[in-house]
Structure 1
Amino acid sequence: MTSDVREIQPAPERSRPATWPAVRALLLRLHFYAGILVAPFLLVAATTGLLYAASFQLEKVVYAHELTAPAPAGRAMLPLERQIAAARAAHPHGTVGAVRPAEPGATTRVLLDVDGLPDSTRLAVFVDPYTGAVKGTLESYGSSGALPVRAWISTFHRHLHLGEAGRLYSELAAGWLWVVALGGVALWLSHRRRGLRPDRRATGLRRTLSWHGSVGLWITIGLLFLSATGLTWSAYAGANVDKLQTALGWTTPVLPGAAGDHSGHAGHGGHDGGAPAGADADRVMRAAAEAGLSGPLEIAWPAGPGAAYVVKEMDRDWPQRNDQVAVDAGSGQVTGELRFDDFPLAAKLIRWGIDGHMGVLFGLPNQILLMALAAGLIAMIVWGYRMWWQRRPTRGFAAPYARGTWRAVPLAVLVPAGAVAVAVGVFVPLLGISLLAFLAADVVLGRVRAAR
Structure 2
Amino acid sequence: MTSDVRELNSAPERSRPAAWPALRALVLRLHFYAGILVAPFLLVAAATGLLYAASFQIEKIVYAHELTVEAVPPGKQRLPLARQIAAARTAHPQGTIGAVRPAAEPEATTRILLDAPDLPESTRLAVFVDPYTGQVRGALESYGSSGALPVRAWISTLHRHLQLGEPGRLYSELAASWLWVVALGGVVLWLSHRRRALRPDRTAKGLRRTLSWHGSVGLWIAVGLLFLSATGLTWSKYAGANVDKVQTALGWTTPALSVSGGDHSGHAGHSGGDSAGAEADADRIAAAAAGAGLSGPLEIVWPAGPGAAFTVKEMDREWPQRNDQVAVDAASGRVAGELRFDDFPPAAKLIRWGIDGHMGVLFGLPNQILLMALATGLIFLIGWGYRMWWLRRPTKGFAAPYARGGWRAAPPAVLLPAGAVAIAAGAFIPLLGIPLLAFLVVDVVMGRVKASG
Q: Fold conserved (TM > 0.5)?
A: yes
8 A Cα contact 1:312 1:325, kept in partner: yes
8 A Cα contact 1:95 1:267, kept in partner: no
8 A Cα contact 2:403 2:447, kept in partner: no
Instruction: Identify the residue that residue 178 of structure 1 maps to in structure 2.
Output: 180
Alpha-carbon deviation of 1:316?
A: 1.2
Instruction: Say yes or no: does 1:413 pair with 2:417.
Output: no
CA offsets per residue over residues 50-107 of structure 1, 9 Å max, x none? 0000000000000000000131112110000000000001111121000000121100
Instruction: Identify the residue that residue 7 of structure 1 maps to in structure 2.
Output: none
8 A Cα contact 1:277 1:330, kept in partner: no
Distance in 2, matches of 1:56 and 1:380, equals 26
1:267 corresponds to which letter in structure 2?
S
8 A Cα contact 2:276 2:306, kept in partner: no
Query: Secondary structure in 1 aligned to 2:142?
Result: strand
1:202 to 198, 201, 204: 204
TM-score by length of 1: 0.93
Instruction: Identify the residue that residue 46 of structure 1 maps to in structure 2.
Output: 46
CA offsets per residue over residues 326-371 of structure 1, 9 Å max, x none? 0011111100011111111111000000000000001000000000
Unpaired runs of 5+ residues, structure 1, are 1-12
Alpha carbons of structure 1 residues 311 and 159: separation in structure 2 relative to 1, 3 Å: same
8 A Cα contact 1:322 1:339, kept in partner: yes
Distance in 2, matches of 1:168 and 1:346, equals 27
Instruction: Say yes or no: does 1:268 pair with 2:269.
Output: no
Instruction: Say yes or no: does 1:166 pair with 2:168.
Output: yes
Alpha-carbon deviation of 1:21?
A: 1.2
8 A Cα contact 1:255 1:326, kept in partner: yes
Larger gyration radius, structure 1 or structure 2: 1
Matching of residues 55-94 of structure 1 within 5 Å: 55-69=55-69, 70-94=71-95
Alpha-carbon deviation of 1:276?
A: 5.0
Matched residues, percent identical? Answer: 79
Instruction: Identify the residue that residue 300 of structure 2 maps to in structure 1.
Output: 299
Query: Secondary structure in 1 aligned to 2:111?
Result: strand
Alpha carbons of structure 1 residues 294 and 275: separation in structure 2 relative to 1, 3 Å: farther
Matching of residues 19-418 of structure 1 within 5 Å: 19-69=19-69, 70-103=71-104, 104-257=106-259, 260-262=264-266, 266-269=270-273, 271=274, 275-276=276-277, 280-318=281-319, 320-418=321-419
Distance in 1, matches of 2:441 and 2:25, equals 18
Alpha-carbon deviation of 1:121?
A: 0.3
Which stretch of the first structure deviates more once superposed, 335-344 or 301-310? Answer: 301-310
2:347 corresponds to which letter in structure 1?
A
1:107 corresponds to which letter in structure 2?
T
Query: Secondary structure in 2 aligned to 1:280?
Result: helix
Distance in 1, matches of 2:279 and 2:172, equals 47
1:326 corresponds to which letter in structure 2?
A
CA offsets per residue over residues 210-265 of structure 1, 9 Å max, x none? 00000000000000000000000000000000000000000011111189544999
Distance in 1, matches of 2:286 and 2:94, equals 25
Distance in 1, matches of 2:287 and 2:269, equals 27
2:46 corresponds to which letter in structure 1?
A
| Alignment size in residue pairs | 437
Matching of residues 415-430 of structure 1 within 5 Å: 415-430=416-431
Alpha-carbon deviation of 1:440?
A: 2.9
2:272 corresponds to which letter in structure 1?
H
8 A Cα contact 1:171 1:235, kept in partner: yes
TM-score by length of 2: 0.93
Unpaired runs of 5+ residues, structure 2, are 1-12
Distance in 2, matches of 1:118 and 1:105, equals 30
Distance in 2, matches of 1:242 and 1:291, equals 32
Alpha-carbon deviation of 1:439?
A: 2.1
